[in-house]
Amino acid sequence: MTHALIVDDDVDSVATLQELISSEKFTVSVAHTLRDARRHIALQQPDVVLLDLQLPDGNGMELFSDPQLVANSEVVLITGHASLDTSIQALRLGAADYLVKPINITQLQGVLSRVMKPAALQAEVADLNANLAHSGHFGLLWGRTQPMQRIYDQISRVAGTSVSVFINGESGTGKELVAQTVHDLSRRRKKPFLAVNCGAISPNLIESEIFGHEKGAFTGADKQHEGFFERASGGTLFLDELTEMPLELQVKLLRVLETGRFMRVGSTTTLDADVRVIAASNRPLLQAVQAGKLREDLLYRLNVFPIEMPPLRERLDDVPLLADHFLRGIAVKEGKSKRFTARALAQLQTYHWPGNVRELRNAVQRAYVMAAADVVDEQWLPRGENVDAQAAVAAAPAAGFSPSVPALAPAPASSPAEVSGPSVTMPLGSSMAQVEKAFILATLQHYKHHKEQTAAVLGISLKTLYNRLKEYAAEDAAAADKAEQ
C-alpha cells in the first residue's frame, strides 16, 4: 500500500489531512518537527511527503538540503498564500506540487493523483532522456545544445505536476511545442490539448470563445456554445500571446484560476474548470505589466513555473539537426528525398534567424522547391554576415557544386526569369520585387496552381498570396495597355 508522511505541527490540520489521505487508501505517518521527519524517513521511505513550511525547529525547505533524503519520495508542500514564493522555489528544487490552505478533498485528490505518477509516464520520460543523445529530439522538440537540455530538464520536472506554466520567448521559438510536450508527459495526456491564440480572436468574441455562452446571451447567439475551458475539460488549455487578451477578461481568467469555477456568458450557473492552464507570450513579461498589457496579479498566478525559450541564434549548433528534420518531413509529403550539402548546412549556421525555428522551416521549404537536383546546395539559403562562419562555408566540401554567390542571386541568366523544372534563375541586378514575383509564380506553376500548397511552401498566408497575384495581374494588364498605345 502507498505510504504517506505528513510533516506539520498544526494538530487540526494533521487530523484533517490524515483522514483525507487514509480515505485514498494510503497508510499514514505523522511528524511534527523536522527532526521527527528525518527519523521517519530513515525508518520507512514514504512514497509521498506532505510538508508544511513552518515547523517548530526550522523551515520545511531544509529537507531539500540533503538531496538523498527525499530522492525516492514525491514531496508536496503545504502553504498559505504568504509563502507561495517559497513554494515556487521548492518546486525548482524538486518538489512535485503544492497545496494551499485551507485544503479541501478535491484539491488533495487531484494533487495525490498527479504526484503518484504511473510507471508508464516515468518510463516514457526516462526513454526520452535515454534516446536524446542519438536521436536529437525530446518529444516534439529538436536540439542537443545546452539551452535545449535545460528546457528538457524543466519539462521533465513540471510535466507531472498540476502547477501553472508560463512560457516566454520570441516568436517562432517553439512555445506551443513545449506546451504540447508538457501535456503529453502529464496525467492529462489522454484528454484534450487545446491551443488558443489570444491575439487572433476578436475582443468582442474572446470571452465567449474562452468561457462559452448561453443561447440568447447576445445578438447572434442562436444556440448554446461550449468555450475552450469546457472543451479542454480534464486536459490542458494553452493560452498563447496572453498579453493580447483584454484586461477585463484577464480579471475573469484570474478568478477562474483561483476558484476553479466559471460561468458561460449569459448564465448564472457555475461550472467546474478541471483544466491545466499553460500560458505564453513573446513580450518581456515585466515590460508587458508596465505597459498595461498584462495584469501583475495574473502574471504571478500563472508564472509559478517559468520556462524561457532560447532564440535560435543562441543555439546555432542545433540548426543542421533541425534543417535535416524539416527536410525529411517535406520529402515524406512530396514523395522525393533530397539532402543538404555540407556547405548548405554550414551556411545555415552563419545566419542569425530573427524568425527563429519557424523561419528556418520556411527557408528549408523554399530551398527544397528550388533545388533542381536531389541535393540542396547553399544558393537558395539565407546567409549571415559572420566572417569566420563564412570561412567555414568556403572550407566545407563543395560536393560538385560551383562556389556560392550571394543568397537569392545565382549565376547570371537571361532576363526575364528562366524556369527550368523546379528551379528559377534571375539576372544579377534584379530588384527584390522582381525576384519575389518570379519566385512566387514559379512555385505556383510547380504546384499546378494549387494556391493553398503554394502558400504553405512559401511560408506566407493564403491572403498574402492572393494579394500578390492580384498585384501581378494589375501590373501585367497595365504593361499590356502601354504596349498597345
Question: What confidence category does residue 65 fall into, taking pLDDT thresholds of 50, 70 and 90?
Answer: confident
Measured distance CA(235)–CA(232) in Å, rounded: 5
Give 72 or 30, the one with higher predicted confidence: 30
State the pLDDT at residue 394: 52
Sign of CA dihedral 69, 150, 110, 55: positive
- The H-or-E segment that residue 445 falls in is helix 432-446
Q: At what angle do helices 356-370 and 451-458 cross, to 10 degrees?
A: 120
* Predicted local distance difference test score (pLDDT) of residue 115: 63
| Residue 44 pLDDT greater than 80, yes or no | yes
* Domain 3-116 architecture: 3-Layer(aba) Sandwich (3.40)
Instruction: pLDDT band for 249, please (50, 70, 90 cuts).
Output: very high
Residue located via cell numbers 515547523: 55
Domains 121-310 and 424-485 fall in the same CATH topology: no
State what percent of residues in the chain have pLDDT above 70. Answer: 85
pLDDT tier, 386 (very low <50, low <70, confident <90, very high otherwise): low
Give the residue among 133, 210, 143 at the shortest CA–CA distance from 177. 143
Q: Alpha-carbon distance 152 to 129, whole Å?
A: 8
pLDDT tens across 226-238, in order?
Answer: 999 999 998 999 9
Backbone angles phi, psi at 148, to 5 degrees: -75, -30
Distance CA 59, CA 51 (A): 10
Mean pLDDT confidence for 281-302: 92
Confidence of residue 410 (pLDDT cuts 50, 70, 90): very low
- Residue whose C-alpha is closest to residue 70's, from 49, 86, 99: 49
Q: What is the pLDDT of residue 476?
A: 80
3-state SS class at 50: strand
Residue 430 in this model has a pLDDT that exceeds 80: no
Q: Pairing mode, if any, of strands 236-240 and 193-197?
A: parallel
* Segments making up each domain of the chain, as ranges: 3-116, 121-310, 312-408, 424-485
Instruction: Report, as an integer, the average pLDDT of 28-43.
Output: 93
Identify the band that residue 403 occupies on the pLDDT scale cut at 50, 70 and 90: very low
User: What's the maximum distance between 2 C-alpha atoms anywhere in the chain?
Assistant: 100
Amino acid identity at 316? L
Burial class (CB in 10 A: 0-12, 13-18, 19+), 253: buried
- Alpha-carbon gap, residue 175 to 293, rounded angstroms: 19
Domain made up of 424-485: CATH architecture: Orthogonal Bundle (1.10)
What's the pTM value of the predicted model, to 2 decimals? 0.64
The pLDDT, as a whole number, for residue 32 is: 94
The CB density around residue 345, as the number of other CB atoms within 10 Å, is: 20
pLDDT digits (tens, 9 = 90+) for 336-370: 999 999 999 999 999 999 999 999 999 999 999 98
**pLDDT of the residue at 237:** 96
Average pLDDT of the chain is 83
Which range, 142-146, 298-302, 436-440, has the best average confidence (pLDDT)? 142-146
pLDDT grade, residue 177 (50/70/90)? very high
Fold classification of 312-408 is Helicase, Ruva Protein; domain 3 (1.10.8)
What cell was used for 30? 505523522
pLDDT digits (tens, 9 = 90+) for 432-480: 778 888 888 888 888 778 887 788 778 777 778 888 888 888 888 777 7
Residue 58: CB atoms within 10 Å? 14
Average pLDDT over residues 172-192: 92
Average pLDDT for 246-263: 90
Q: How confident is the model at residue 406 (pLDDT cuts 50, 70, 90)?
A: very low
pLDDT at 252 over 90: yes
Spatial contact of 426 and 409, defined as CB atoms under 8 Å apart:
yes
User: In 417-454, which positions are buried (b, 16+ CB within 10 angstroms) versus exposed (e)?
Assistant: beeeebbbbbbeebeeeebebbbbbbbbebbeeeeebb
Whether residue 185 is predicted with pLDDT greater than 70 in this model: the reply is yes
Architecture of domain 121-310: 3-Layer(aba) Sandwich (3.40)
Least confident of 105-119, 256-270, 345-359: 105-119
The pLDDT score that the predictor gives to residue 163 is 80
Q: Which pLDDT value is given to residue 180?
A: 96
Residue 137 pLDDT: 86
Looking at per-residue confidence, does 158 or 405 come out higher?
A: 158
**Residues forming beta bridges with residue 237, ordered by sequence position:** 194, 277
Rg of the chain in Å (alpha carbons): 28
Tell me, what's the pLDDT at 484? Answer: 67
Q: Are 426 and 434 in contact (CB under 8 A)?
A: yes
